[in-house]
Structure 1
């Protein structure tokens, strides 16, 4: 039998509930972000109809093309930017998104502070940490995190927490545990970590926001 959007969402929510039960947490404390990047509106609409309201996109332009019409039909959608953000797109991102997960450098702090003032809204931001110290990945180096957080706070950027993507193909639990410690050390309540293959582990190690694409939408074409 072909899986439906409703059955996929129910399966993911059941796994969230199981992970929360094991770790003695409440499912309501975990925000499921449905990662709709590269998926067309006709694949997103059934997930909205199934009850999902929080979505994540990687690119500003793609989100601008897809979401205004979808939000007209469902105004209570919450849209998160989970991909890298170029400084010259900061104003567009500030106008469109309800949360940004990829603040990773001082120049972006400046661009976002200016953009928030211009559009007249303060968008909560996660600082992305390069938790595995990988050259090919975005994110702030762990050693630079205190300085970047200080700059963001001085610029009145509303900080939601920390975000990471652990190295591919390696047991993610130690990286999630390190993220949780870094968040605690810096007085940040939220941790955006965990994707389709590892979100249960992330929840058991303190994730407050999980970014799930494949388990909800299937493989990208």
Structure 2
């Protein structure tokens, strides 16, 4: 695998779905990857990355962005409210706004600082008790609450249950987004991004298939 292989697969999935490849943004998930691997992908010309943790992103991206100022990093992992201020200075988008308390914290900080990353609201499409995100039946109210807070809500995000057909969850997320006039759909990972693209994904998250297996040491 590698970046070129994944880009080729994304292009084919877009072709199969009758979509423009420019409509789908590939987030190279660089969490727990050595800096030399991340640098290699930057050197290949890729400029959009995903990180799971604020601290890890803060430890490497400010330095990378000095050399590659056009590189963007999106937060795709959970965000604690006490890390929200730090996150707002690091990320171009936050894909994991999963509860009203976090939304209110981001809105307060946005008023204070005068800027805010793009926001994706996390929907727990599988209604899994251990997983973050609002339940599907609560999604419309949550979207309205976040818009009332003047947050820049760009779309929705989901992580399907591992033992269920992901396309059903992608279709559900797309349905919720459509009725709320949202165009952004952050869904699909290494194993299922073609299915996600077929269902309208605008942001897909691919890690080890680009960088190689993670070394958690």
Q: Secondary structure at the match of 2:12?
A: helix
In the aligned structure 2, how far is the partner of 1:145 from the partner of 1:30?
Answer: 23
Write the deviation string for residues 90-130 of structure 1: whole angstroms up to 9, x where unpaired. 11111110000001111011100112223331211000000
> Per-residue CA shift, 1:180-213, capped at 9, x if unaligned?
1111011100100000111011001110000100
Q: Quick check: 1:167 aligned with 2:172?
A: no
- TM-score computed with the length of structure 2 as normaliser: 0.96
Partner of 2:105: 111
How far, CA to CA, are the matches of 2:42 and 2:118 in structure 1?
23
2:67 to 53, 73, 78: 73
* Residue aligning to 1:130: 124
Q: Secondary structure at the match of 1:211?
A: strand
**Long gaps (5+) in structure 1:** none
Q: Which has the higher contact order (CA 8 A, sep 6+)?
A: 2
Query: Which residue is equivalent to 2:21?
Result: 27
**Aligned equivalents of 1:169, 1:213: Cα separation in 2:** 20
Q: Matched residue of 1:37: which SS?
A: coil
Q: Which residue of 1 aligns with 2:51?
A: 57
Alpha-carbon distance between aligned partners in 2 of 1:54 and 1:102, rounded to the nearest angstrom: 17
Match of 1:214 in 2: 208
Aligned to 2:142: 148
2-side partners of 1:146 and 1:88: how far apart?
Answer: 26
RMSD between superposed Cα atoms in Å: 1.0
Other-structure match for 2:30: 36
Measure the CA separation in 2 of the matches of 1:10 and 1:39.
18
Give CA-to-partner distance per residue, 1:6-60, whole Å, 9 cap, x none.
Answer: xx11111111111111111000000000000111211100000111100000111
Per-residue deviation, residues 144-184 of structure 1 (Å, max 9, x unmatched): 11221111111100001000000013221111111111110
Contact 1:193/1:211 (<8 A) preserved: yes
TM-score, length-normalised on structure 1? 0.95
Counterpart check, 1:188 vs 2:211: no
